Amino acid sequence: MTLPTDEMPLSLHSAAQVRDLDARLIAAGTPGFELMQRAAHAAWRALRRRWPEAGCISVLAGRGNNAGDGYLVAALAQRAGWQVRVFAVGAADALAGDAALARDEALAVGVAVQPWTECAPLEGVVVDALLGTGLSGSVREPCAQAIRLLNASGQPVLAIDIPSGLCADSGRVLGVAVRADLTVTFIGLKLGLFTADAPDQVGELVFDDLQADPDLLATAPSQAVRLALGNLPRLAPRPRTAHKGQFGHLLVVGGDLGFGGAALLAAESALRSGAGLVSLATRMEHIAASLARRPEVMCAGVASANQLLALTEKADVLVVGPGLGQGAWGRALLSAAAGCTVPQVWDADALNLLAVGLAQPPSAGVMTPHPGEAARLLGISTAEVQADRPKAALALAQRFNLCVVLKGAGSLVAAPNGRLALCDHGHPAMAGAGLGDVLAGLLGALLAQGMDSFDAACLAVWLHASAGKTLGALGRGIAASDLIPTIRQLLEEISPCLK
Ligand SMILES: NC(=O)C1=CN([C@@H]2O[C@H](COP(=O)(O)OP(=O)(O)OC[C@H]3O[C@@H](n4cnc5c(N)ncnc54)[C@H](O)[C@@H]3O)[C@@H](O)[C@H]2O)[C@@H](O)CC1
Ligand SMILES: [K+]
């Protein structure tokens, strides 16, 4: 059954887990070649739906079962009267097992199969059947050159199972990868289809379960869960007798000279996401402007750790870091905050100071690094973080014993116990200043209303990304504060204040 995006499974698997699932389906009685035929039918359906008038396909086939799927798509297109050519990349005589059977079927119905050369004419829709979940290491020649020429060709591309060259586990391009317009993926969603480089490679994503036994799919081990309306944590409705003391007192700590807006954005976001009381501990110089913008926020000028500690005594949740800076003022406040036992959200310079050992991590809560901050915290490069985002997020969660939101396309939420969630919403228009401050405030507000760290992080990331997606549709230039009313609206839609 081919499923639309919002009904796709919520489990995300590694390549090894999907291979294991294939093996279990075969062991349960469905021959591998039958699965390959179902995969080809699903790909062919998706191809005709997207390009009904194309009338012509070129298949780039590798040497494994991914190529087998491609040969069977070629056979289906040939039977439908389309113009079809298969280019075999690498030694075609290396095909074995089901893939060789698939090639024989294509030849039997008259498909033209020829060795790939750099002059091979790519016409019509190009079907990428070079590499699937069997990819290991950086793409080697001649596949790499075929991929480069395909990407330069400007032809529409359907990728079978996963764009060739994309790592199914991490979403990283391994040297070079196909940029697909449509990817049809089978049996289990691979985590690597959603994070790191994947959003620029996958195009439209279609899932087909190859008619696998739903119980088998439901019980298959997975790597992570995809956040969607169906599994989002929710806030409970409020009793009609509610009072502000029931929804937490949140204190934002940040806003050094020149960065006052960051802390104010976090405070405003927390206020609009339902925190009972919101306080702001910032530079005295920012108080007048902050009060003018948001009289609902209790603004206090703090000059020392002791002044901050007096405020933290009344707080149920801290949001530490927006605009904090890395100077003496920020360091003093961070050290004071670190010793507080209430749940905390640490962002921005709180994380940079933690990375250089100038603070101890809080005892509970969530940290929200972007890849650069995550790299500093782990003592590795940003490229290494992006090379395996799930691993980096889990490593941070374990090292600091906190929940972690690793930001960037395909944001991940990791818990110290190994739980991992992924948000596949968002929009490139979200790449701008202040959006992280809004996320930190929102997250703090959900903690203040009683959610646990992992649930609050999951819901906050989903709301933030979904609001960004909505506003991004209007174009570039999202101001971070634009996001706040949309987040409020979305939160009400999924967790109404009244029953
Ligand atoms: N029964 C099954 O296992 C099914 C598998 N299916 C398809 O089979 C695919 C997996 O098939 P395979 O496990 O045979 O693997 P693939 O077809 O993904 O790739 C294996 C081939 O790629 C080559 N290769 C590996 N790393 C390379 C690199 N870095 N550079 C260049 N070449 C490289 C290997 O030498 C081998 O020839 C799935 O992605 C899916 O498309 C589907 O047909 C559904 C059923
Ligand atoms: K492929």
DSSP sequence for 164-194: TTB-TTT--BSS-----SEEEEESSEEGGGT
Q: Is residue 326 part of a domain?
A: yes
Ligand 1 atom 28 nearest Cα: 139
Residues 147 and 254 in one domain: no
The closest alpha carbon to 347, from 379, 336, 330, belongs to 330
Q: Is residue 122 part of a domain?
A: yes
Domain boundary among 160, 189, 224: 224
Chain centroid, CA 447 distance in Å: 22
Residues 147 and 248 in one domain: no
Residues 249 and 211 in one domain: no
Ligand 1 atom 17 nearest Cα: 64
Please report the beta strands in 27-66, taking only residues with DSSP state E, as ranges in sequence order: 56-61
CB 111 within 8 A of CB 78: yes
Q: Is residue 4 part of a domain?
A: no
| Dist. CA 69 → ligand 1 center (Å) | 10
Q: Is residue 232 part of a domain?
A: no
Q: Which ligand has an atom closest to residue 128 CA?
A: 2
Residues 54 and 104 in one domain: yes
Q: Is there an atom of ligand 1 within 6 Å of 4 CB?
A: no
What is the distance between the alpha carbons of residues 193 and 159, in angstroms, rounded to a whole number?
12
Residues 306 and 446 in one domain: yes
CATH (domain of 183): 3.40.50.10260
Q: Which ligand has an atom closest to residue 73 CA?
A: 1
CA distances to 56, 259, 348, 380, 410 from 282, rounded to whole Å, are 64, 10, 15, 32, 32
Q: Is residue 79 part of a domain?
A: yes
Residues 192 and 258 in one domain: no
370 annotated to bind ligand:
yes
Domain boundary among 195, 224, 253: 224
Residues 274 and 353 in one domain: yes
Sheet arrangement for strand 249-253: 189-190, 11-13, 224-226, 420-423, 411-414, 403-406, 365-367, 344-346, 317-320, 249-253, 277-282, 298-301
Residues 375 and 455 in one domain: yes
Q: Is residue 233 part of a domain?
A: no
Q: Is residue 2 part of a domain?
A: no
- Domains in the chain, number: 2
Residues 339 and 213 in one domain: no
CATH (domain of 262): 3.40.1190.20
| Dist. CA 158 → ligand 2 center (Å) | 8
Residues 411 and 473 in one domain: yes
The closest alpha carbon to 41, from 81, 85, 74, belongs to 74
Residues 169 and 317 in one domain: no
Residues 252 and 208 in one domain: no
Q: Is residue 368 part of a domain?
A: yes
What is the distance between the alpha carbons of residues 14 and 55, in angstroms, rounded to a whole number?
35
- Give the structural domain span for 47: 11-224
Task: Give the pLDDT of the chain (499 residues) as one tens digit per residue.
Answer: 776 666 899 999 999 999 999 999 999 999 999 999 999 999 999 999 999 999 999 999 999 999 999 999 999 999 999 999 999 998 756 899 999 999 999 999 999 999 999 999 999 999 999 999 999 999 999 999 999 999 999 999 999 999 999 999 999 999 999 999 999 999 999 999 999 999 999 999 999 999 999 888 889 999 999 999 999 999 999 999 999 999 999 999 999 999 999 999 999 999 999 999 999 999 999 999 999 999 999 999 999 999 999 999 999 999 999 999 999 999 999 999 999 999 999 999 999 999 999 999 999 999 999 999 999 999 999 999 999 999 999 999 999 999 999 999 999 999 999 999 999 999 999 999 999 999 999 999 999 999 999 999 999 999 999 999 999 999 999 999 999 999 999 999 999 999 9
Q: Is there an atom of ligand 1 within 6 Å of 36 CB?
A: yes
Ligand 1 atom 25 nearest Cα: 135
Q: Is there an atom of ligand 1 within 6 Å of 32 CB?
A: yes
| Dist. CA 164 → ligand 2 center (Å) | 4
| Dist. CA 302 → ligand 1 center (Å) | 60
357 annotated to bind ligand:
no
Whether this model's ipTM surpasses 0.85 comes out as: yes
